[in-house]
Chain A
Amino acid sequence: MSSRLSPDDVEAFLRDNSQEQVFETLAQLTAEDRTALVPKFRQMASIYQFRLSSAIQEERIELSKAQRGIPATEEPTANLATERTKLWLRPAIDRCATCLLFCCEYNELKEAGHTAVPSTEYAVKVIATRKPKWISQWCKFILAARSHTNFFTVYRLEQLGLVKLKHDSNYLACAAQSLTSVAGMADFIAASPQLIQDVIDILKSPLSLRAMAIAVSPDSNAAPLNEQKTSFVEFCSEVPSQNEHANRWLNCIQFLAEKNIITNDTVIESSFSQLFSASEIPEKKKNSWAPSESTTDFLIALHDRIAVDKSNLSNRYIPLIAASNTAIASYAMNNLLNTPTDKLVLTNVLSYLPMVFNTRSKELSDLAFKLLKKLEPRAMEKQELYDDSVLSALTHKSGVTHKQALNLIQKMSLLKNSETLNKFETRITWLEGINRSRARDLLEAAKRELANTATKTPDKQLSEIGQGAPLLSPVFDCAPSITQAIEEMIANNFNAKDALSELAGFDHLAQTYSASERDNNKLADAILKPIDLYSFEYPRLSDSTRVSPINDTNDLIIEATRAIAGKKTAEETEQVVDGIARMWKNRPTDFTEKMAPLTSRLEAETQTQFQLRGISLPLYPLVFSWFFGLPITQYSCHPFATVWTARIVCLAERMRQGLELPMLAAPTHKGGWIDPTELVRRVKLYQQSNRLLFNSLKGSSKFDFLNPLKSLFKGSDNASTEIWDSIEMTQALLRIAPDKQARQKALNQCHEITGEIAQTMKYALGSGSIDSIELPYFQVAAHRARDPFTSCKIKGEDLGLPDTAEVATYILNKEAFVNSRASTQDSLNNAIKVLKVTHSNIYKTLYVARNAPSDRLSHIAELVSQSDYYYLYPTSMLHSFYTNIFAPDFQEDFVLVWPLNMEPVISNVANLCFQYINSSSQRWLGQWDFLFSPDLTLAKNGSWLLCFALANNSNETARLALDLVIAAVDENRADAKAIGNCIVEVSDVMSYKPSRLVKVLRELSKVSPLHALFTWEMIETVVKKLKGRTLTVYLELALELVEEYGFALTKDSEQELANLLKKSKPAILVAKMIQRSKETTNIQKRQEAYNQATLQSLQSRLNRQQRWASS
């Protein structure tokens, strides 16, 4: 080939010449000529790579077919591809790479990547010829690819003295990856002092050691190691498999150590160092720096081969026995177990053993007990340390470990001195059930023995960790004058004529306590009796709960911004909308300037659908409408419609008519309540503007409003206007506070109101007849506003919906439980019916559009028309299918729909809790703040909610449920027996571990005697009725409560439980409970617990009565 190689000749040049010829030709070219050829070489490299990839793919397919016994394809192209691969493609690629390396500068080589790295022989020849300045950089660059070829190229260049590199972690990792591909690698390494040093360094670094343990996948596009291996498959077989790679290293290091080329000590030191580094990282952790299990295995295997005499290294294994990495800890522990006892340094072993019980591994704790047993003959030498080690096992998570520890304590009589006894007593609270009971027995026996010992040593100062720290103020340490305190409280506050005191349950409890024949069961009933919080007899409206309306435009802009950002609650957002409704015409001089950031942001965010969720969604179009003064329909809005959305559309409609009127249904007080007098004032304001007359709707049947609704956007007429106002009005009616005085006052002010709404208002406020109301949805709303829990007759056809004419009733749908276990999809479909209302047609499928048309508000109107009754019958909507599905997003809104009756919302939350009972996430929870209202009862559907929530798999949900039940017990608004019954009802069908529920109940019982009594009542209800294996976990908790508070089973319960199979674990537990509850100390404890619970309950009821009275 002539030295005048032109780009056009390149293809033939690469195809027709040998590697040597190519090299010779390029060597004769001038630098300028070579540079001119670079683009063509790069082009050819790309073409070859593409062809190679295709050929490899085809070859893989053929191989796969062969492996599965499928006959090879007869198509000529496939064979041709293989032929090409074998015969010329790979050599051509290598020739092309040689050319690129010869012609390119460093930056170009970096861009070309692996296509510019030829085989070692020619890479070295080219570099040796060119001697470029960037040789070091290039070597580092190609090493990063971790390719075998590249490492040997760099190694050869170093050998020739052409480059001197710092052997950093990347170099060493590449070496560790590559050296296993050399036949006779041990001899190869032994022959090179530099490689020996590299191997020593590899052993020292976790990164390079990992490369020893784990082989990387070969680079499928890399050039072959030598020209003989022309098939890709053949090339792959050159690279050792994962196991072979690690094995070759193990054999190699063993060989080097045996030949004393690397000293044993060096390898042992390195392996200990690496074991320590790896020991800190638990297995299965996916972080990149964490050693995978194969690295751990490699380390252990390496250490095992080199460290022949492990007994002399026992001190080095000790720090590893408590490693987070269980494999390493277990290896170290086994090595100690295999070490002769006399060679173990007792102090060192025993000082580390307690840490083993910090890990939660059952395997490790078993090994630790083996070690303790092995050390048993020498325990006397270091008795204190030995005791500490055994006692530490009591803080392990497993009950089996606790049992092992108690066995050892008993066998070795470890509780001999007061110090050990104190430590033991501190740890008893970690134990559960029968173990705790047994521990108490051991403690008592040890105490007695200690007392009887004549040579009793004086109590030492406690050296136990934490004993010196002051405890938190105990909530329920019984004061000596507790009975006196109760009696004083009753004497000072008992007033049978006080309705609020009676309603709060103070009087009933006081009477029960003071009864001459005090029966603990009756007292427990009185202490735990939930308060009727749906009563109309206590006030809801007070100055402290009054909501301040927004009266300043500046404030309104700021508050609107925060509401859009989702920083406002539903109640606060209602105030923002009310502010816009009243002040949208008020535009200060800098209005545009102040609004600009908000609207610009909204415009930008509107481009992304569904960015805002929940109650802030409908504010989008409203704010635009407010700012630009344009009809709301021009702006995007989420297609999902709720009553809240419909009310905002209603407001927009009023704005279009130029009206500034308050939102009829905006709450005046927290909890969603409206002061009835304020509602009367608002209605009058509306009527002064010719609204709320409802003349056009009279005489219509239940669905007559649909057509006017649809025509809303075609042009405003009276009918459409009145339909929108109806939605707002029904919502306002449902929020009227059940305050007798305020209702009466409002009733007196109703005379100025005219038309249909006058009759509706009067009936809602407690006067008049339902028959005088024409429109059925007003009939329902007015009736539900004054009588949420009774049925009524409405005009026209009964809708058959819950909480319209008929009150909703709830049943447990056991089928849903069974289905939920059968399939996930069934769970999703049916779980919502777990607690269902007894109306069959509530599950009407709704159309919820995913792709909304551009005119979003028209679309909402369309939706409203399809889901008709949901907007005019909001009480019914609360039971709908889609309130369940979207509950997390809209829960806050639903909470405010009908504050008089929260059962529908609570049942929704209960259903969600069931649906996700085994989920570890709490994302679906939604907003639970409303459940913490002290005036919300959880004694009805709340019992189901608590039953499902307390058993939830998500730690956060279970914790939140615990918070809720603690608050509910404090405030006498939960029913222990009802929750117990719920647990029993679902126990045979529920798919959760009862131990999960018991764990949370155990926490509940620790809060105070009142909470303990509540837990006891719940558990007693459960154990009395429950059958089967799950009974044991509940009985274990019951036994703990008997021992802690002295509680006793009732005669009924004892009889129910008498049928248990003798010698069964439940029967043993019951017998123990009965025996314990009869002990004198426990009788005293019981009395104290009941007294303390009485005091707590009285105080709580008194606080409530005083809070109500001050309203």
Chain B
Amino acid sequence: MSAAFEFSYAYPFESAISTEGNQSNLRLATFGGAEKSPYFFDGYLAHPKTTADLLLTLSAISRTRFYSPGEIRERLLAAADPVVTCDGTQLRFEVFSVCCGGYARLDLTDTAIDGNWLSKGTTNVDFNPPMRAALSTVFHGDKAGLKIGDHGLELVKATESVTERKVKLPVRWLKSFVEVQSYQTELKLIAEIAPLELAKLLHTLPQQNILKAGSITYLVPSGRSMRLSQRPAPGAVAIGAISRLKILEPILRYAKSVKIYGSASSISAFELLLPQGKFVLVLSPNAARGFSGEGQALSDLVQKVDDSALAKVKAALTWQSKLNVEQVARDTEIAIADVKSALQILGTRGLVGFDISESCYYHRELPFNIDLVEDLHPRIKKARKILADGRVRLNLDNRTTTAYVTGDTLQHVVDLSGEPTCTCPWYKQYDGKRGPCSHIMASEMALLEHNLETDSAT
């Protein structure tokens, strides 16, 4: 499988901060999406320095590789520009860390920006190093304009020069965008604490960036606050490689409050509630585990769905910032459960994102070809091949549902009676925590086919 695909960011101009008199103007170049280089917004930053710091932290995450398993590729640092979605009321900037173990989103609402909403959509924005350096010099008292995209500049400069950066976007980066939606739906709000409390906890972490990739630390209630613990407890949040949280330190002072989310699978999320919107950081269970390899969305990807229902739900997407499931169900005349399933599937296709604080999906369309994900996912490909080769034999009796799957060298036993288990080494290693193995997926597909055949026969 190819580990990366060629992607060309072709911006009509370079993002930059220009100064006119006593006003600085932040112009973010856009590329991709429904339109080639969309023009979303033209206005002012209400809190220039805060917003600049938030954008810098977001950008820092996209350039951070929390986990470095040996081969470091400098090109990866330049690989991924943030994805921005405009729904006409707010701007959502999304990024992944280079290692794909951290996902961050900055939502800027109308309290942060004041101006004209020109269009809706999703695109990439150029975050080049000089622009980042200039962003750091934005101060509180400055009057700062903001433009996301710019038709005028595009027309003038399109024929002259285009800022083009050909990068090899790692497939895992793309897969992470798909996986993180599935994980976010699992997250539950565990606690809300004062930012100073979180800052205090971060101060207790080692000074040097000792990551300890696989270590899980728990945040547990203690007295009037929370403390770090090594053991799970009621009300505890499991955080993998907690040192990664230190990236939030510079912007904690802007937050009014911090919401902490946790899940059974040790995914954690930290939501900084800001006067300007919110900043969300979602961390994978382990610094060595990017969201890309988790495989939680795999079952959704292979799920057989009613295509017409899926098409109807897809047609109902109009850049909503909150997708009300009941409303969509009413509009499309589809059952609520089906709408939920459809949204899950659309999430795996990059068509909706998930907002943990609102606990709902929102419409955004990733400016990449998401079909690649399904095509390139080795486990799905392998499962389909196993099924096509007829290497799955179901053994159904009244009590148990077992499948015998012939792998590359061995025959594996898949028990589908309850939570699926497999005797393959991959399953043995991860214990089902990183999604189903190819044998389980092939067996589930075979069982689904069997049930469909049985249904049609009766």
Q: Is A358 at the interface (CB under 8 A from chain B)?
A: yes
Please indicate the chain B residues that have their CB under 8 angstroms from the CB of A472 in the complex: 191, 193, 221, 224-226
B60, B203, B273, B428, most chain A CB atoms within 10 A:
B428
Q: Please tell me which one of the listed residues A280, A347, A427, A601 contacts residue B141 in the complex, with CB atoms under 8 A apart.
A: A347
Q: A466-B195, A472-B226 are in contact. List 19 more A-B contacts (CB 8 A).
A: A207-B74, A322-B250, A347-B139, A347-B140, A395-B203, A426-B196, A468-B257, A469-B193, A473-B221, A558-B415, A565-B428, A597-B413, A601-B425, A920-B210, A956-B230, A959-B228, A959-B230, A962-B227, A1007-B223
A474 CA / B415 CA spacing, docked (Å):
47
Cβ–Cβ < 8 Å partners of A469 in chain B:
192-195, 256-258, 273
Q: Are A960 and B231 in contact (CB under 8 A)?
A: yes
What chain B residues lie within 8 Å of A476 (beta carbons)?
223
CB B397 to nearest CB in A, in angstroms, measures 11
Query: Nearest chain-A residue to B137 (Cβ)?
Result: A319
Contact with B along A351-369 (1 / 0, CB 8 A): 1001100101000000000
Sorted nearest first, the 6 A-B pairs with minimum C-beta distance are A466-B194, A469-B257, A276-B133, A597-B423, A319-B136, A960-B230
Measured between alpha carbons, how far is A967 from B191 in the docked complex, in Å? Answer: 22
Q: How far is the CA of A831 from the CA of B253 in the complex (A)?
A: 47
Given A273-B129, A319-B136, A282 contacting B209 (CB threshold 8 A): yes
Chain B residues with CB below 8 A from A322, complex form: 250
A466→B255 contact, CB < 8 A: yes
CB of B431, distance to nearest CB on chain A (Å): 6
- Per-residue 0/1 for A452-478: is the Cβ within 8 Å of any B Cβ (1 yes, 0 no)? 000000000000011111111111100
> Within the complex, which residue of A285, A348, A600 is in contact with B410, where a contact is CB–CB below 8 Å?
A600
Q: If the complex has contacts A347-B141, A468-B257, A469-B256, are A277 and B129 also in contact, measured as CB distance less than 8 A? A: yes
Q: A206-B129, A397-B203, A956-B215 are in contact. Are A962 and B193 (CB under 8 A)?
A: no
- Over the window 201-240 of chain B, the binary record of Cβ atoms lying under 8 Å from chain A Cβ atoms (1 yes, 0 no) is 0010111011010010100011111111111000000000
Is the CB of A1071 closer than 8 A to any CB of chain B?
no
Please tell me if the beta carbons of A597 and B412 are within 8 angstroms of each other in the complex: yes
Pull 12 A–B residue pairs with CB atoms less than 8 Å apart, ordered by A. A273-B130, A289-B72, A351-B49, A465-B254, A465-B255, A466-B255, A470-B257, A554-B400, A956-B212, A963-B231, A1006-B222, A1007-B223
Q: How far is the CA of A595 from the CA of B277 in the complex (A)?
A: 57
Q: How many residues does chain A have at the interface if contact means C-beta atoms less than 8 Å apart? A: 71
* CB nearest neighbor in A for B230: A960
Tell me, in angstroms, the Cα distance from A275 to B333 when the chains sit together. Answer: 58
Residue on A with the closest CB to B273?
Answer: A469
Q: Give the A-binding residues of B (Cβ under 8 A).
A: 49, 60, 65, 68, 72, 74, 77, 129-130, 132-133, 136-137, 139-141, 191-197, 199-200, 203, 205-207, 209-210, 212, 215, 217, 221-231, 249-250, 252-258, 273, 395, 400, 404, 409-413, 415, 421, 423-425, 428-429, 431
- B140 partner residues in chain A, CB cutoff 8 A: 347-348, 351
B137 touches A315 (CB 8 A): yes
A959 and B200 contacting across the interface, CB-CB below 8 Å: no
A316, B137: Cβ atoms under 8 Å?
yes
Interface flag for A1058 (CB, 8 Å) = no
A1078 within 8 A of B: no
With contacts A466-B196, A471-B194 known, is A598 near B423, CB below 8 A? yes
* B415 neighbours in A (Cβ, 8 Å): 558
Contacts of B205 in A (CB 8 A): 955
Q: Check if B227 sits within 8 Å of A558, measured CB to CB.
A: no
Establish whether residues A360 and B193, one from each chain, have CB atoms under 8 Å apart when the complex forms: no
What 1/0 flags go to A590-612 for Cβ under 8 Å of B? Answer: 10011011101100000000000
Q: Is A730 an interface residue (CB 8 A)?
A: no
> How far does the Cβ of B231 sit from chain A's closest Cβ, in whole Å?
5
Taking A206-B129, A465-B255, A597-B424 as contacts, is the C-beta distance between A348 and B196 under 8 angstroms?
no
The reply to whether B411 and A596 contact each other, CB–CB distance below 8 Å, is yes
0 or 1 for each of A919-949: is its CB under 8 Å from B? (1 = yes): 0100000000000100000000000000000
Contact residues in B for A289 (Cβ distance below 8 Å): 72, 74, 77
Chain A's nearest CB lies how many Å from the CB of B198? Answer: 8
A691 at the interface (CB under 8 A from B): no
Closest to A269 in B: B130
Query: Which of B192, B210, B255 contacts A470 (CB under 8 A)?
Result: B192
A272 at interface (Cβ–Cβ under 8 A)? Answer: yes
Contact A430 B193 (CB under 8 A): no
Write the chain B residue with the least CB distance to A345: B139
A288: Cβ under 8 A from any B Cβ: yes
**A698 on interface, CB distance cutoff 8 Å:** no
CB of A204 within 8 Å of the partner chain: yes
Complex: A273 Cα to B128 Cα, angstroms? 11
Min distance, Cβ A286 to any Cβ of chain B, angstroms = 9
Chain A neighbourhood of B424, CB < 8 A: 597
Q: Cα distance A11–B42 when bound, in Å?
A: 73
Option from B141, B223, B231, B410 in Cβ contact (under 8 Å) with A475: B223
Identify which of B129, B130, B133, B412 gathers the most chain A CB atoms within 10 Å of its CB. B133
Q: How far is the CA of A851 from the CA of B224 in the complex (A)?
A: 56
Smallest CB separation, A333 vs chain B (Å): 15
Q: Give the CA-CA distance A195 to B431 in the complex, in Å.
A: 59
Residue from B137, B203, B217, B221 in contact with A959 in the complex, judged by beta carbons closer than 8 Å: B217
Instruction: List chain A residues, Cβ under 8 A from B215.
Output: 956
Q: Is the CB of A474 within 8 A of B224?
A: yes
- Point out the residue from A273, A276, A315, A955 that lies within 8 Å of B139, measured CB to CB: A315
Given that A469-B256, A472-B191 are contacting pairs, would A963 and B230 also be in contact in the complex, using a CB cutoff of 8 Å? yes
The listed residue (B196, B227, B413) touching A465 by CB distance below 8 A is B196
Is B207 a contact of A276 with CB atoms below 8 Å? no
| A192 interfacial by beta-carbon distance below 8 Å | no
A554 to chain B, nearest CB (A): 7
Closest CB in chain B relative to A602 CB, distance in Å: 11
**Chain A residues near B209 (CB-CB < 8 A):** 282, 285
A590 near B395 (CB under 8 angstroms)?
Answer: yes
**B381 → A minimal CB distance (Å):** 22
Contact call B137/A567, Cβ cutoff below 8 A:
no
The residue in chain A whose Cβ has the minimal distance to the Cβ of B194 is A466
Cα(A802)–Cα(B395), bound, Å: 57
Residue of chain A at shortest CB distance from B422 = A597
Indicate the member of A322, A427, A469, A956 with the most B CB atoms within 10 Å: A469
Interface residues of A in 177-219 (CB under 8 A from B): 204, 206-207
* B230 and A465 contact, CB distance less than 8 A: no
The reply to whether B411 and A471 form a contact with Cβ atoms under 8 Å apart is no
B133 engages A277 (CB within 8 Å):
yes
Contacts of B72 in A (CB 8 A): 287-289
Distance of A1000 Cα from B162 Cα, bound (Å): 57
Contact B231 A358, beta carbon cutoff 8 Å: no
Question: In the complex, which of the residues B192, B249, B413 contacts A594, with contact meaning CB atoms closer than 8 Å?
Answer: B413
Q: Which residues of B contact A600 (CB under 8 A)?
A: 409-410
Query: Which residue of chain B is the closest to A430 with respect to CB atoms?
Result: B200
CA distance A562 to B229 in the complex (A): 28
Residues of chain A in range 1056-1111 having any CB-CB distance to chain B below 8 Å: none
A277 to B63, CA, bound (A): 11
Find chain A residues with CB under 8 A from B258 CB.
Answer: 466, 469
A395 touches B225 (CB 8 A): no
Given A288-B74, A348-B140, A590-B395, decide whether A395 and B199 contact each other with a Cβ distance below 8 A: yes
**Cα distance, A288 to B68, chains bound together (Å):** 10
A1008 interface hit (Cβ, 8 Å):
yes
Q: Counting CB contacts under 8 A, is A561 at the interface?
A: yes
Nearest to B198 among chain A residues (CB) is: A466
Indicate whether A360 sits within 8 Å of B256 (C-beta atoms), given known contacts A277-B129, A932-B231.
no
Instruction: Tell me the minimal C-beta distance from B394 to chain A in angstroms.
Output: 13
With a CB–CB cut-off of 8 A, which chain B residues contact A285? Answer: 209
Known contacts A276-B136, A960-B231; is-contact A558 B410 (Cβ 8 Å): no
Check if A1003 is an interface residue, CB within 8 A of chain B.
yes
- A601 CB to closest chain B CB (Å) equals 6
With A288-B74, A469-B258, A1006-B225 in contact, do A204 and B194 touch (Cβ < 8 Å)? no
Which residues of chain B are within 8 angstroms of A354 by Cβ–Cβ distance? 253
The closest CB in chain B to the CB of A596 belongs to B411
Rounded to whole angstroms, the CA-CA distance of A397 and B200 in the bound complex is: 10
